[in-house]
Amino acid sequence: MKKNLLLFCCLSAALLFGSTDATENPQQLAALSKDTGAGQSATPWSNLNPKKLKLQSIAALIMEPSGKVVYAKHVDEPRPIASITKLMTAMVTLDRSLPLDETITITKDDRDLERLTGSRLEYGARLTREQLLRLALMASENRAASALARTYPGGRQAFVKAMNRKARALGMTDSHFVGPAGLDAGNVASARDVAKMVLAARRYALIHSATTTRRMSVRPYKGRGELRFANTNRLLKNKHWEIQLSKTGYINEAGRCLVMQAEIADQPLVIVLLNSFGKLTPFGDSNRIRKWIESGVEG
Q: What residues act catalytically? A: 83, 86, 140
| CA-based torsion, 103, 106, 107, 111: positive or negative | positive
Chain length of the chain: 299
Spatial neighbors of 187 by CB under 8 A, at least 6 apart, are 80, 81, 82, 85, 176, 177, 178, 179
Q: Are 151 and 133 in contact (CB under 8 A)?
A: no
> Residue 61 pairs with which residues in a beta bridge?
72, 272
Surface-to-core class of residue 192, CB atoms within 10 Å of its CB (0-12 exposed, 13-18 middle, 19+ buried) = buried
Backbone torsions φ then ψ of 7, nearest 5 degrees: -60, -45
Q: Give, rounded to a whole angstrom, the gap between the first and last alpha carbons of the chain.
A: 32
Backbone torsions φ then ψ of 148, nearest 5 degrees: -65, -40
Surface-to-core class of residue 270, CB atoms within 10 Å of its CB (0-12 exposed, 13-18 middle, 19+ buried) = buried
Please enumerate, as own/partner, the contacts of 148-154 that have beta carbons within 8 Å and a separation of 24 or more.
148/89, 148/93, 148/104, 148/180, 149/89, 149/179, 149/180, 150/107, 150/109, 150/110, 151/98, 151/104, 152/92, 152/93, 152/96, 152/98, 153/96, 153/98
Rg over CA atoms, the chain? 19
